């Protein structure tokens, strides 16, 4: 029996619920090994209007059941993205959303306006949650007014779907989710990495040159499931669950917790076909349980 895996999310119809998380799939073109067969959508590596070098190495450190990264949003800038990547995306059979970043509210709006209407750009994931930049980033995701202002600035400059990527580093993620929903977001992605630190005990300083980094991977999964669930309880727009998904069973936890779709990040570094494996595993699980579609999966979403 073939299972209907399609989902409608934030203004887009996707062929499946599993997407590539920003920053873990590049621009989708660099590594031929990366398996694109089962992608519901791809979110590009985060980009600013102008090119950025990111932070100095070392940028990555392995930790128990996870990793710390401080890439600092290295990227080629909007003009290079339009020239080098978007034309390739235009021919793909799944949508590509651009993860957009800024140091000010107006930066975000300007970047959305520049990319709006570019063939190959299907929508935006607004990153208000990067822990690895000096200006902007997580600051916007910590304050409901700033989060709403950024969302509104993007919303005003595009008709494309606008998803907002939330930080876990907040007291109440529901407050931020509601703020961006009111400001016009079509969906939220929950969550970005947690701020962490690891010390080199021989060099007497942090293992990452930036000092701190974003923790991802299975270590954060139960935290992320909880936060995605909190967000799903707070808003009516779809929630995309992300954090520590390695296998189909992990993705199913997010879906049952109230998410409409999921993103897979760090797992791709371990297994370049992790996304296809997760997609196929969800379909097999649904078939075994006797569900004809993903929509039939029971959700645990008590309303307050």
Ligand X SMILES: Cc1cc2nc3c(=O)[nH]c(=O)nc-3n(C[C@H](O)[C@H](O)[C@H](O)COP(=O)(O)O)c2cc1C
The least distance separating ligand X from the CB of residue 23, rounded to whole angstroms, comes to 2
Name the closest residue to ligand X (Cβ): 23
Q: Three-state DSSP class for 156? A: helix
- For ligand X, give the closer residue by CB, 120 or 244: 244
The least distance separating ligand X from the CB of residue 120, rounded to whole angstroms, comes to 18
- For ligand X, give the closer residue by CB, 3 or 18: 18
Residues that bind ligand X (CB under 6 A): 21-24, 45-46, 69, 71, 73, 99, 127, 130, 165, 192-193, 216-217, 220, 242-245, 264-267
130 noted as active-site residue? yes
Q: CB-based burial of residue 270 (10 Å sphere; 0-12 exposed, 13-18 middle, 19+ buried)?
A: exposed
| Nearest alpha-carbon partner for 270 in 72, 18, 24 | 24
The least distance separating ligand X from the CB of residue 2, rounded to whole angstroms, comes to 27
CA pseudo-torsion sign 6, 86, 154, 193:
positive
In the set 130, 133, 162, 170, the catalytic residue is: 130
The least distance separating ligand X from the CB of residue 58, rounded to whole angstroms, comes to 12
**Helix-strand-coil split of the chain, %, nearest 5:** 35, 20, 45
- For ligand X, give the closer residue by CB, 63 or 104: 63
Cα–Cα–Cα angle for 27, 251, 8, nearest 5°? 70
User: Beta 162-166 vs 187-190: how paired, if at all?
Assistant: parallel
- For ligand X, give the closer residue by CB, 179 or 240: 240
CA trace torsion 44, 40, 190, 116 (10° rounding): 50
Catalytic residues: 130
């Amino acid at each position: 029996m073939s299972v209907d895996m399609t989902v409608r999310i934030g203004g887009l119809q996707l062929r499946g619920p599993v997407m590539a998380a920003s920053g873990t799939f590049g621009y989708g073109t660099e590594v031929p090994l990366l398996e694109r067969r089962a992608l519901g959508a791809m979110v590009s590596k985060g980009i600013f209007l102008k090119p950025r070098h990111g932070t100095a190495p070392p940028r990555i450190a392995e930790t128990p059941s996870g990793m710390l990264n401080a890439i600092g949003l290295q990227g080629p800038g909007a003009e290079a993205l339009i020239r080098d990547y978007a034309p390739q995306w235009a021919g793909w059979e799944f949508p590509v959303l651009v993860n957009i970043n800024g140091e000010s509210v107006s930066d975000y709006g300007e970047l959305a306006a520049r990319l709006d209407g570019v063939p190959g750009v299907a929508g935006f994931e607004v990153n208000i949650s990067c822990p690895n930049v000096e200006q902007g980033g997580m600051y916007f995701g910590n304050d409901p007014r700033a989060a709403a202002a950024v969302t509104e600035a993007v919303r005003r400059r595009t008709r494309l779907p606008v998803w907002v990527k939330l930080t876990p580093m907040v007291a109440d993620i529901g407050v931020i989710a509601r703020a961006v929903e009111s400001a016009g977001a079509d969906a939220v992605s929950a969550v970005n990495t947690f701020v962490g630190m690891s010390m080199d005990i021989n060099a007497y300083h942090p293992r990452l040159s930036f000092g701190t980094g974003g923790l991802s991977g299975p270590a954060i999964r139960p935290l992320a499931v909880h936060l995605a669930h909190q967000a799903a309880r707070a808003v009516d727009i779809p929630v995309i669950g992300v954090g520590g998904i390695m296998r189909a069973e992990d993705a199913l936890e997010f879906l049952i917790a109230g998410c409409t779709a999921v993103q897979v990040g760090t797992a791709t570094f371990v297994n370049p076909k992790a996304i296809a494996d997760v997609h196929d595993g969800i379909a097999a699980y649904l078939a075994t349980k006797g569900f004809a579609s993903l929509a039939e999966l029971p959700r645990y979403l008590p309303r307050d």
